[in-house]
Structure 1
Amino acid sequence: MNRRVALAAIAAVATAFPLAACGQEGSGEAAAPKPTGKPTVCLVMKSLANEYFQQMQKGAVDHVAKLGNVTLDSSGTQNETDVDGQVALVEKCITKQVHAIVLAPADSKALVQSVAKATKAGIKVVNIDVKLDDDALKQAGVDVPFVGPDNREGAKQSGLELAKVLGKGAKVVILEGNPGADNALQRKNGFNDAVTEGGLELLDSKTAHWETDEAHTVFGNMLTAHPDIQGVLASNDSMALGVAKVIEERKANVKVASFDNISAVKPYLQNGVLVSTLDQYGSDQAANGIDYAIKMINGEQVTGWQKTPIKVITKDNVG
């Protein structure tokens, strides 16, 4: 009788141990994704008030519908600077035990710890749109692939279109994106490359955090301080819309180069206020990110930069 009790106790301990090891309190690690026949991919974006990310979401939904073998869980923040909100969205994906997360981070450093937590939980992570900081990833011991465009080269190409129209010596300003985002830095660098190569004179460079209303205020103040501004290099189309409103209100003779190619800027391309924008095919980025996530779920190793295409859009090819 005592021997049977002892064996039962040993069996109970043996059964309980792996459960405790998988879900012990205070470990700081989420449980591994549940194995199912149809994997779930979380797409986490920035502000869904921005038409660019609306396009990205639609592209992802359409792509998953064509694939038919994956479940998509997509979400985005209320505004471009809501880093804490985006961290919470990633945490939700981890809690749901999804198989992969495709992330367009609002901040290149602040999201790295959440990415590290996801990978520790066995979730595959693909970085799209805005590159996560290499040093922060290395420090966290994480290696995730980046699927996205060459933001610096794209901004340079768009900026050079403005230089062609204005000519050497023209006075310009830059409207920057979020200071913590790698694509904001790369686009600023690309615009500076265009300023140098095009022989432009840079009067000022300030952030408007990707937002239309803030760009309206920031550029309005710039134009008051520098009434001789001839051109604006806007790091995304949402900010270009704010600039265009100021130009209309003040009847200013100012031209704009931008980035993203959302439909809302097409009238400004057609009337000549906007000289150029840069199509980085946001909807395809999300689809490509999902494809790479599925490859990783299936055991393929994907690392490094998977570069996506870009195209300068002008009045001649706006379509």
Structure 2
Amino acid sequence: MENETIKVGLVMKSLQADFFKVMQQGAEEFVNETGCCELKAVGTATQTEIDKQISLVEQLVDEGVDALVVVPIDSKELVAPVVYAVRNGVTVVNIDIKLDDALLKKDGVEIDFVGPDNFSASYAVGKKLASTLSKGDKVIMMEGLPVAENAQQRKAGFNKAIEEYGLDCVASEPANWETVTAEEVFGRLYMKHPDIKAVFCCNDAMALGVINVLKDAGCKAGEVKVVGFDNDAVMGSYLEDGWMLATADTYASRMGVEGIRHALALLKENVSATGDKSTEFTVIDGK
């Protein structure tokens, strides 16, 4: 393959989301600078289009890519198309959201995961928020898409912090990573629980929805503390002015690059997997 251009497909979730816009930009800049491969970056319109993402994976396989770097919307439903890719000779690297290990093993397929420890990152952000509260304070959690492994891990990390600090989680519901959905879900929950002290959000897009509701309700910055996850650029001003207490940066721009690098290394070694690779995260505090 040394004398041929290597073709790599990067399959992401919603390209409307800041996180994946940054991931795509970082990957394309890396490929343009290094000339390491021919990259085709694709994604869905929303965070919940599972069938569309499955078709994107299958389409890239049928187009003859050498490698796929995949961020699955659904950790279980994306296993079948990924197995299809592997059985058609495509090298696959899973990034950001882990595919279901049990289903992969059932199909006899081993795929390396390159991404952050979502549990540890959310626990760290959760502790940052919980430490500012008092035992028994009422809080709400905005969950991600339940079928995604990272949503499950972030929820678990936040729950650990909530339990350790003796907080009272009066409601915990999915808003499927989306700002508009978070506005709808949190708006309803806030009406039922107007005495909450904080909101744990499993991504920044949902945190933005929560903040919009709080502003509309006449709250002042910091009156109800909010944390998120992803360190989306749009949240910078909210961190600075006190609307957001903290978030976790998992370095979206680097994650796609690390996935591509890992895929190229596997192709060079002519192996399907060499082991998972953990990427870093940093808790970003408000100013």
* Range class of TM-score, shorter chain: over 0.9
1:286 and 2:256 equivalent?
yes
- Report whether the alignment pairs 1:259 with 2:226: no
How far apart, CA to CA, are the structure 2 residues paired with 1:178 and 1:220? Answer: 18
CA distance in 2: counterparts of 1:58 and 1:70, whole angstroms:
15
- Find out whether 1:309 has 2:280 as its counterpart: yes
- The residue type equivalent to 2:73 in the other structure is A
| Per-residue deviation, 1:309 | 0.1
Give the 3-state SS of the residue equivalent to 2:169 in structure 1.
strand
Cα distance per residue 1:30-88 (max 9 Å; x no partner): xxxx9961101000000001000000000100111122131100000000000000001
Q: In the alignment, is residue 275 of structure 1 matched against residue 242 of structure 2?
A: no
Please tell me whether the aligned partners of residues 123 and 158 of structure 2 are also in contact (alpha carbons under 8 angstroms): yes
CA distance in 2, matches of 1:109, 1:151: 18
Q: Within 1, Cα distance between the matches of 2:286 and 2:252?
A: 20
Q: How far 1:311 sits from its partner (Å)?
A: 0.2
Q: Which of the pair has more CA radius of gyration?
A: 1
Report if the CA contact (8 A) 1:112-1:140 is conserved: no
Look up the match of 1:44: 11
Is the 8 Å Cα contact of residues 143 and 303 (structure 1) preserved in structure 2? Answer: no
Which of 92, 97, 101 is matched with 1:125 structurally?
Answer: 92
What is the DSSP-based 3-state SS (H/G/I as helix, E as strand, rest coil) of the residue aligned with 1:80? coil
Identity %, equivalent residues: 43
1:7 aligns with none
Distance apart, 1:200 and its partner CA: 1.5
In 1, Cα distance between equivalents of 2:203 and 2:240: 18
> How many Å apart are 1:166 and its aligned residue?
2.2
> What SS does the corresponding residue of 1:166 show, helix, strand or coil?
coil
State the distance in 2 between where 1:210 and 1:163 align. Answer: 22
Residue range with higher mean Cα deviation, 171-180 or 123-132: 171-180
> Which AA in structure 2 matches 1:315?
G
Cα distance in 2 for residues equivalent to 1:231 and 1:170: 8
Aligned to 1:81: 48
Q: Aligned partner of 1:126: which letter? A: V
Counterpart CA distance in 1 for 2:167 and 2:149 is 24
| Equivalent residue, structure 2, for 1:149 | 116
Distance (whole Å) between structure 2 residues aligned to residue 170 and residue 269 of structure 1? 22
Q: Secondary structure at the match of 2:132?
A: helix
Of 178, 195, 203, the match for 2:145:
178
In the TM superposition, 1:186-265 aligns within 5 A as 186-252=153-219, 253-265=223-235
Q: Which amino acid aligns with 1:148?
A: G
Question: How far apart in 1 are the matches of 2:286 and 2:145?
Answer: 28
With over 3 angstroms needed to count, the CA separation of the structure-2 counterparts of 1:36 and 1:87, relative to structure 1, is farther
- What SS does structure 1 have at the residue aligned with 2:13? strand
Give 5+ residue unaligned stretches, structure 2.
none
Provide the C-alpha distance between the structure 1 equivalents of 2:156 and 2:120, rounded to a whole number of angstroms: 9
TM-score, structure 1 as length reference: 0.86
Residue in structure 2 matched with residue 17 of structure 1 by the alignment: none
Please tell me the residue identity of whatever aligns with 1:112. Answer: V
- Stretch of structure 1 that moved more, 293-302 or 50-59: 293-302
AA of the residue aligned to 1:288? E
CA distance in 1, matches of 2:94, 2:8: 13
Q: Which residue matches 1:160?
A: 127
* Cα distance in 2, alignment partners of residues 178 and 236 from structure 1: 11
Other-structure match for 1:58:
25
User: For the residues of structure 2 that align with 1:269 and 1:166, how far apart are their CA atoms?
Assistant: 18
Residue 268 of structure 1 aligns to which amino acid in structure 2?
Y
CA offset digits 1:123-157 (Å, max 9, x no partner): 00000010000111111211000000000010011
Partners in 1 of 2:130 and 2:62 — Cα distance?
Answer: 49
What SS does the corresponding residue of 1:38 show, helix, strand or coil? coil
User: 5+ unaligned residues in a row in structure 1: which ranges?
Assistant: 1-33
Letter in 1 for 2:204: D
State the Cα distance separating 1:199 from its structure 2 match.
2.3
**What SS is found at the alignment partner of 1:266?**
helix
- Matched residue pairs, number? 283
